[in-house]
Amino acid sequence: MDFRYWDFPESNGEPNPVTPQPLILASRSPRRQHLLTQIGLHYTCIPSDVDEVLDETVGPEDHVAILAERKARDVAQRQQEGIVVGADTIVVLDGDIIEKPETGDDAVRMLERLSNRRHEVFTAYSLVEVPSGRTLTRCERTEVWFRTLAREEILSYVQSGSPMDKAGAYGIQDDFGAVFVRKIVGDFYNVMGLPLCSFYCSYKSFTRQGPEIDGCTVA
């Protein structure tokens, strides 16, 4: 797990104490909304209008980190105060980024590719403080193994409509999609769209409610 950067504009590199501020989620994802509620955070949901365009010139970690930060900054520029959270998730198989399906046929093809294979899920989140612009962006990676999927299972799942708003055309938390996954290595919640342990520690440190993140002291 790796920090991209801390940013303290107009502070000569010296962080200032942070007073808890309103939390704003720059996402339409019901899964991310559920996860923030799960860890007891109160927030307002203001979705970003940023286009999720694939940048083939950068690796998957940079791709999700850039998009997560763009989403957070897009919403932050319209706020008077608060901490804005942006996030992005992608699935990577054989070096190819697999995003959300556009059609049912897309979803079928994606699931057929993932069948009996190992793939990676990358989720990045970005915290942007308003009005200071102080920013933290971090990316997490989880490995996922699918069992062999029968075509009938794939078709039935796609017909349910559940895969259509999800990277890789599946949700590990879905009633049926959950039985596709044989094994994971990494954070389960990262596959859902927000790595809870990492995010929680980052949020606590960002708001000066906790002194350390994974053993790294933050002044």
Catalytic residues, by residue number, are: 88
To which residue do tokens 């979803």 refer? Answer: 107
Distance between CA 146 and CA 71 in Å, rounded? 30
Neighbours of 175 (CB within 10 A): 10
Collapsing DSSP to helix, strand or coil, 86 comes out as strand
Q: Indicate the residue type of 173.
A: Q
CA distances from 58 to 67, 171, 174, 192, 203 (A): 12, 25, 31, 23, 27
Distance between CA 136 and CA 82 in Å, rounded? 14
